[in-house]
Amino acid sequence: MKKIALHWQILIALVLSVPFGLFFGEDGIVDLTGVFDFMGRIFLNALKMIVVPLIISAIITGVSNISSEKGFARMGLKTILYYLTTSFVAILTGLILVNLFKPGIISGIPAKDVLALTSLTAEQMTALEGKGTNEIFAIFLRMVPPNIFKAASDGQMLGLITFSLIFGFFIRKLSENYKAVQLNFWNGIYDIMLGITNLVMRIAPLGVLGLVALTVSETGFDSIVPLLKFALIVVVALLFHVFVSTSLLLYTVGKMKPVVFMKIMSKALLTAFSTSSSSATLPETIEGVTRAGVPKRVSSFVLPLGATINMDGTALYECVAAMFIAQAYGLEIGFGMQLTIVLIALLTSIGVAGVPSASLVAIVIILKAIGLPDAALGLILVVDRPLDMLRTAVNVWSDSCGAAIIAATEEL
Ligand code: ASP
């Protein structure tokens, strides 16, 4: 029998997960939520297990393999420029749509009065407490962790990235014999990590089935309906960013057909969709762009950085969500406030971790900055998870396009 390609297997799992979640949830025919939870968790654990050594070895090999200091600075600048530009374009797309369609106003009345507010659980409240504008400084502080091992065990990727960048940079300064040992060692670790990624991917369909079925069984569909307009605007803006903004860039600068590239990246995109974590998807993103022909020198530098600091989908979502909540609360939203929202969305999308629901913390920062209570976040909690799945896929898509585009310009 012909073997079904892995991305098809994942897609089938994704489709099946909806009826599974609906029929085998807590109130379903048989309660299989324990099984779903186990399947999803083991897949996520396996992915997370790879992430720290992968990020470290990818960046170290990426930096130390760049031949000249000028080359390093050039690629670094291009990468940052791409990240900032696409995130900004994403935010603007969201801003325009949310201003045009005003999802926070229902038949002329602020939605807060129409919708029953979903209040935050005590656990969610404590997690969000004290995350004011100071959090922005905290983001920069995280770039220099006092203890890299703690940073690794806490999943503080930003700190690990800085350390690995510096480490790789100094490998290039070593005398020839030490340098050769270091390069061989780190290149070896990197290849091992990619090998383990391939292994983990074999259980992806089961993992996806578990993760999504559990989400469906917990969220259901009914609660989403009142927030449909908001969700729809986020979805349309995200799709516009994928199929128009970044695709145009990929086609013109990256010299690649977006549809073909998307097909190659499908495994990574589907995994991003089902795990809602760009960090966890990183191994597959690297594997995908390598198959698309992006040289290791570029992918191992651009992608680990991107998984943490380039989040177009997140930036867009933060902006639309904050605007929606402000509209729903009947706030007067002038130019100054919109500018604040745009800037904080841009900054926090750089700082938030690539893990599920990371945007929520960033949205709280924005809400505080514009004078709204944390509890206002309750308005969007119901739809957050499905939108998280989509925005994470967009984050990964933009990272991948970045790798392809930078590779194309490096070859010039
Ligand atoms: N889940 C997103 C990611 O991992 C972050 C977020 O927007 O919550 O990319």
Residue 16, pLDDT > 60, answer yes
pLDDT value of position 336:
83
Closest by CA to 211, choosing from 124, 270, 155, is: 270
Give the position of tokens 């200091």: 69
In CATH terms, the fold of domain 6-409 is: Proton glutamate symport protein (1.10.3860)
Among 234, 269, 314, the mutation site with the greatest number of ligand 1 atoms within 8 A of its Cβ is: 314
DSSP state of 118: P
Q: Which of 8-17, 41-50, 151-160 has the lowest mean pLDDT?
A: 151-160
Distance from residue 13's CA to the centre of ligand 1 (Å): 22
Beta carbons of 55 and 282 less than 8 angstroms apart: yes
- 69 Cα–ligand 1 center, Å: 33
Residue 316 to residue 293: CA distance in whole angstroms: 29
For strand 109-110 and strand 105-106, is the pairing parallel, antiparallel, or unpaired? antiparallel
Residue 111 reports pLDDT greater than 80: no
Average pLDDT of the residues in 153-165: 81
The two counts, helices (H) then strands (E), for the chain are 20, 2
Position 222 scores a pLDDT of 60
Centroid of ligand 1 to alpha carbon of 313 (angstroms): 8
Q: Give the pLDDT confidence of 312-336 residue by residue, as tens digits.
A: 999 999 999 999 998 888 888 888 8
Residue-wise pLDDT tens digits, 276-299: 999 889 999 999 999 999 998 889
Confidence of residue 197 (pLDDT cuts 50, 70, 90): confident
pLDDT at 119 over 70: no
Report helix, strand or coil for 232. helix
Q: What is the DSSP string of 71-94?
A: HHHHHHHHHHHHHHHHHHHHHHHH
Mean pLDDT of the region 171-183: 91
Say how far residue 117 (Cα) sits from the centre of its chain: 27
Of 349, 370, 373, 328, the C-alpha closest to 233 is 328
Which atom, in ligand 1's list, is nearest to the CA of 279? Answer: 4
CA 380 to the chain's CA centroid: 18
Identify the weakest region by mean pLDDT among 192-201, 269-278, 372-381: 372-381
Q: What is the pLDDT of residue 4?
A: 81
C-alpha 175 to ligand 1 mean position (Å): 41
CA triplet 123, 127, 130: central angle to 5 degrees?
A: 130
371: tokens are 């004078």
CA of 359, closest atom in ligand 1: 8
Q: Which atom, in ligand 1's list, is nearest to the CA of 349?
A: 7
Ligand 1 center to 178 CA (angstroms)? 39
d(CA 64, CA 165): 9
As for ligand 1, residues whose beta carbon falls within 6 Å of it are 276-278, 311, 314, 352, 354-359, 388, 391-392, 395
Q: How many residues does the chain have?
A: 412
pLDDT of residue 71: 75
Q: Ligand 1 centroid vs 21 CA: distance in angstroms?
A: 22
CB 29 within 8 A of CB 23: yes
Determine the pLDDT at residue 309.
Answer: 81
> Which residue would you say has higher pLDDT here, 204 or 290?
290
What does the pLDDT look like over 49-94, one tens digit per residue?
887 888 788 888 877 877 666 777 888 889 989 999 999 999 999 9
Q: Where are the domains of the chain?
A: 6-409
Return the SS3 of 411.
coil
In whole angstroms, how far apart are CA 65 and each of 57, 184, 295, 312?
12, 11, 11, 28
Tell me the pLDDT band of 123, cut-offs 50, 70 and 90.
Answer: low
pLDDT number for residue 134: 58
User: Which residue lies with its CA nearest to atom 1 of ligand 1?
Assistant: 356
Mean pLDDT of 1-24: 82
Q: Which residue has the tokens 């290149």?
A: 187
Q: In whole angstroms, what is the distance from residue 114 CA to residue 130 CA?
A: 29
CA angle 218, 223, 224 (to 5 degrees): 100
- What angle do helix axes 358-369 and 312-328 make, rounded to 10 degrees? 50
Give the model's pLDDT for residue 110. 76
Q: For ligand 1, what atom is nearest to the CA of residue 356?
A: 1
